[in-house]
Amino acid sequence: MNDEFDDTSAHDDFDITAAADLTADEEALLTEMPTLTDVGQARRTFLGQTIAGGLGLFALELLSIEKAFAGLSPSPDAVVAAGSAPEHLVKVALTVNGATKTLELDSRVVLLDALRERLGLTGSKKGCDQGQCGACTVLVDGRRVLSCLTLAANAECREVTTIEGLAKGDRLHPMQAAFIKYDGFQCGYCTPGQICSAVGLLEEARRGHVSHVTEDVTVTTSRLTDDQIRERMSGNICRCGAYPKIVAAIQEAHSGRESARTWRFVEEEELARVRKEWQDNETV
Ligand code: FES
Ligand code: FES
């Protein structure tokens, strides 16, 4: 075999000090080379790969693995990702569902994260986290807001109401009861936001707020048509498509006109009969 074209011998002769323009991370990698055998990388193989890749991303990735295993200290000029230590701390007194708690928060924390991560109120949902879906809707001083776009610090000295705060003990809020009556949900992920939004909507209607589909804005009316409900709820997305029943539920809570429930809970005797039929079928 012609040694001139023998890759193996070429790699063996490779002089690491001859590699031009190495960065500090690359220098550190080469210095630590012997320990790479401990994590299953043959030095020779590694050299071949780094030559081919020009000590690029692959080498840096191995360096990070090596650091993880061997506790290699980063070089002084290495670029290191920012730590997770809290910054810009502020004290925020949040009044949520009637209870006030003072939290120490990064000033950039949004209300949704403060509710879910710090106060354990996970009823408000994170859907898009960018103001598009409405799953995070809560009430602040009775007005609906997207808690994913609201800084927690901005909610100080205000009354925040989440889905957990709507019921009075065992008594559901009329909007919650209406959603159940009309089966206004399927998976339920959007439902807390839908209900909070609907409660805020009723208050807007009571104040005579107009909307995009209000035909005559000079006439103040608190009576909402189904179209107005649809338009006012358009910021709340339901991927399950429970919209017709959501509108029906809100319309009933709004108008007070009750219609008969179209479903009922199954009775215990019916359940027992069905269970027995299953058991009988299994033994046949
Ligand atoms: Fe806030 Fe989607 S999570 S609007
Ligand atoms: Fe599933 Fe609305 S009930 S997203």
The vertex-46 CA angle with 42 and 49, nearest 5°, equals 145
User: Which CATH code is given to the segment(s) 167-284?
Assistant: 1.10.150.120
* Ligand 1 centre distance from Cα of residue 208 (Å): 26
Q: Is 188 in the pocket of ligand 2 (CB under 6 A)?
A: yes
> What is the spatial distance between Cα 110 and Cα 153, in angstroms, rounded to a whole number?
8
pLDDT tens, 64-115?
544 444 444 445 565 555 556 767 899 999 999 999 999 999 999 999 999 9
pLDDT band at 33 (very low <50, low <70, confident <90, very high): low
* Ligand 2 centre distance from Cα of residue 163 (Å): 15
Listed by start position, the domains of the chain span: 3-70, 89-165, 167-284
Least confident of 75-89, 175-189, 252-266: 75-89
**For the ranges 13-17, 69-73, 156-160, the one whose mean pLDDT is highest:** 156-160
Q: Whose CA is nearest to atom 2 of ligand 2?
A: 238
What angle separates helix 43-53 from helix 57-70, to the nearest 10 degrees?
Answer: 140
Q: Is 240 in the pocket of ligand 2 (CB under 6 A)?
A: yes
Q: Is the pLDDT of residue 199 over 50?
A: yes
Q: Is 111 in the pocket of ligand 1 (CB under 6 A)?
A: no
pLDDT tens, 44-62?
444 444 444 444 444 445 4
Q: Is 37 in the pocket of ligand 1 (CB under 6 A)?
A: no
Contacts 24+ apart (CB under 8 A), 99-103: 103/152
* Ligand 2 centre distance from Cα of residue 176 (Å): 15
The reply to whether CATH 1.10.510.10 applies to domain 89-165 is: no
State the distance between the two ends of the chain, measured CA to CA, in whole angstroms: 78
How many other C-beta atoms lie within 10 A of the C-beta of residue 149? 14
Q: Which atom of ligand 1 is nearest to the CA of 147?
A: 1
Region 231-258: mean pLDDT is 95
> What is the spatial distance between Cα 146 and Cα 251, in angstroms, rounded to a whole number?
23
